[in-house]
A and B are shown apart, each in its own frame.
Chain A
Amino acid sequence: MRILIIEDDQEASAYLAKGLKEAGHTVDQAHNGNDGLFLATTERYDAMIVDRMLPGVDGLTIVQTIRGAGNTTPVLILSALGKVDDRVKGLKAGGDDYLVKPYAFAELLARIEALGRRTSASQPETRLKVEDLEMDLLARTVTRSGRDIDLQPREFRLLEYLLRHAGQVVTRTMLLENVWEYHFDPQTNLIDVHISRLRQKVDKDFDQPLIHTVRGAGYTLRAAR
């Protein structure tokens, strides 16, 4: 993906760019709001990472401006302000996701890749499929190799999220926010236990595991390599 980073902390920006390049993306950087807005409006990107507080034009204004101009490039807003209403403000301004500093790079990478994918698969789907695992979103049934898998409603949503982001890394926080829809800090490895339950049902009786743990980041659902 071609990614634009608008971040005034040059060290943080360089660190981000390095990580994204290592993950195989092309990166442009801007260190103030004016340059950022210029690049955002003149170049085409697959995703943008925008810091909220910038010299010159601030991050939210940039997002509002490009959205006003009809630019739908996914935007991840970075901020040191972590309160819920700040998050709401960021998303209202047109941001697609919001990440609070300090963040884990794995978290940012997972989120930006999820955002980049979102635009390419915007068609409403009724069936999700990875290898022999199939999910029927209308009948709300799951089968693997033709065998029915009985899931609780939450497990169904968890698997659905993994399937929609098949091949991508999803972090524990992304799962909490999107499957449980709460922003909070669990003190324990809650999500791991839920995933392990899901694995029992989806992977246990089959040779090829589909749900994989990505160390230091989260989980990914993909065919075994």
Chain B
Amino acid sequence: MPPANLHLPPLLRATTFRLALSYLGIFTVSAVALLALVSWSTSVFIEWQVQETVEAEATGLSEQYRERGIRGLAEVIAGRAGQDLDRRAVYLLSGPGGVRIAGNLYGWPAESIDSAGWIRFSIERMGSEAFGTEVLGRTYVLPDDHQLLVGRSLHEAKRVKLAINRALGWGLALTILLGIIGGYFTSRHLLQRVEAMNRTARRIIGGDMKSRMHLTGARDEFDQLAAGFNEMMDEIERLVESIRTVTDNVAHDLRTPLNRLRSRIDVALLSDEDPASLRRTLEETLAEADEILATFNAILTISSAESGQRLHSFEPLDPARLAEDIAELYEPLAEEKGVALTCHTQGGATVDGDRHLLFQALANMVDNAVKYTPAGGTVAVSVTRQDGDVTITVADSGPGIAADQRARVLERFVRLDATRSTPGNGLGLSLVNAVARLHGATLDMDDNAPGLILSLHFTARA
């Protein structure tokens, strides 16, 4: 397999690269700052230690001076200077006029003495040997114009500082190296996960709708992204599946009438019918075509209700008025069938909706009720109101729908076996359901014993 990042777009590569670089930059700067602080405080600490030593030594010498006077002090200094094989200690005791009395320093240094008596100077030679060191010392003024200088070579301190700095430098180099390596592996890991997602996306684009992002189980951002992506794909797959089902159903349901239409024309063309019967055939054909168009229109109305694009045609409506209009419209039809159609409404309610769609839904409900109710039966349309909730009910005394079939009749093109012989396209209640959903209403089915109660329940606006 080629390196994963070869497939990535240049932008992504640049982004990841820049990210890794800037992290490394920040990392280096903070590491350098930290090491500089360590180095600085180390040198401060070392000098402080030297000062302490010098002061301790001076305290010891001042005791000697108090006990044995200047001569005793000179002896002690001479002894100490002779003992100091490492040449770390520097002493100078001078008499009036700066004349050296004792010590391993042969003259006062030229450097200035600060107010606390501290002096910093370098010695090139000590005796006959090259010495070349920096010394930190303290001067004391003694009675009778005597002066004392006690100092310590900073040579050792310098070496310690150098060693620490070297260690810190190596540490820094190692840190940067580890940062680069770690950054490389981290970004390669990220890139591989991005690339894995990219591959999955390409597989899906390529038509493999079942393909899903791999979850590592780490529950990190990548897993969350992948999970979100997978959920989105599930939803898309569900939608595509439902569209496919509808398309299949449309194709199937329209193929039958279209085929019938075709054979009718076919037969008419073959036979030597007289103009009158040819005309009759044409009229039947036209009726058939109209029926197909009506089915199409119903499908389109359902789609437009489901897509929610009619929400902006919503207006406040009086459900009682709609119910009375629908009852008035269907009353003669019901009467012709010997069915009593009644309408009871509670006024004063308002429902936000699309007037024509809601009327279409009610028409489908009442149409069904009148169609399936035998002569002598009743269809009751009613509008009830409770705490702002509105329910429009159409109750008939027909055969009803068995409880286990109720969900099925809401699906498109589903016609129960018992109704196959009556005209209809199996879209009536699907449309009612789609319109109900568009209006945030629920469509309920209940047993009227005997018959069916269909109710549209609108919940009060918050």
| Residues of A near any B CB (own CB < 8 A) | 82-85, 88, 102, 104, 154, 180, 182-188, 190, 193-194, 196-197, 215-216
Contact = CB atoms under 8 A, between A and B. Distances in A.
A117 B312 CA distance: 34
A190 B330 contact: yes
Contact of B298 (A85, A180, A183, A185): A185
Contacts of B360: 182, 184-185
A183 B367 contact: no
A184 B362 CA distance: 11
A85 to B, nearest CB: 5
Contacts of B423: 187
- When A and B form their complex, which 6 residue pairs have the shortest distance between CB atoms, in order from nearest? A184-B360, A193-B332, A183-B356, A182-B359, A193-B333, A187-B367
B102 interface: no
A104 B286 CA distance: 9
Contacts of A83: 304, 309-310
A180 B325 contact: yes
Contacts of A186: 329, 363, 367
Contacts of B41: none
A33 B293 CA distance: 28
B424 interface: yes
B312 A85 contact: yes
B329 A190 contact: yes
A194 B294 CA distance: 21
Contact of B286 (A82, A154, A197, A216): A216
21 contacts: A83-B304, A84-B354, A84-B356, A104-B290, A182-B355, A184-B359, A185-B297, A185-B298, A185-B301, A185-B360, A186-B329, A187-B423, A187-B424, A187-B428, A188-B367, A188-B370, A188-B371, A193-B332, A193-B333, A197-B332, A215-B283
B312 A180 contact: no
B336 A193 contact: yes
B328 interface: yes
A85 B313 CA distance: 7
Interface in B356-375: 356-357, 359-360, 363-364, 367, 370-371
Interface of B: 283, 286, 290, 293-294, 297-298, 300-301, 304, 309-310, 312-313, 325, 328-330, 332-333, 336, 354-357, 359-360, 363-364, 367, 370-371, 423-424, 428
A190 B364 CA distance: 12
Nearest to A100: B297
A88 B363 CA distance: 22
Contacts of B364: 187
Given A182-B355, A185-B297, A187-B294, 10 more contacts: A88-B313, A182-B325, A182-B360, A184-B359, A184-B360, A186-B329, A188-B370, A193-B333, A194-B332, A215-B283
Nearest to B304: A83
Nearest to A184: B360
Nearest to B364: A187
Contacts of A180: 325, 329
Contacts of B336: 193
A85 B300 contact: no
Contacts of B371: 188
B309 A102 contact: no
Contacts of B304: 83
B359 A84 contact: no
A216 B310 CA distance: 32
Nearest to B294: A185
Most buried by B among A88, A102, A186: A186
B300 A82 contact: yes
A102 B370 CA distance: 29
B313 A190 contact: no
Nearest to A85: B313
A88 B310 CA distance: 12
A187 B423 CA distance: 9
Contacts of B290: 104
Contacts of B329: 180, 186, 190, 194
Nearest to A198: B332
A143 to B, nearest CB: 23
Contact of A82 (B297, B310, B332, B357): B297
A188 B428 CA distance: 12
Nearest to A191: B329
Given A102-B293, A182-B355, A84 B313 contact: yes
B295 to A, nearest CB: 10
Contacts of B286: 104, 216
Contact of A216 (B283, B297, B367): B283
B246 to A, nearest CB: 18
Contacts of A197: 332
A184 B313 contact: no
Contacts of A193: 332-333, 336
A185 B428 CA distance: 11
Contacts of A184: 356, 359-360, 363
Nearest to A152: B328
A187 B355 CA distance: 18
Most buried by B among A82, A190, A193: A193
Most buried by B among A84, A180, A215: A84
Nearest to A87: B356
A188 B298 contact: no
Nearest to B325: A180
A155 to B, nearest CB: 10
A194 B328 CA distance: 10
Contacts of B294: 185, 187
A33 to B, nearest CB: 26
Nearest to A215: B283
A132 to B, nearest CB: 26
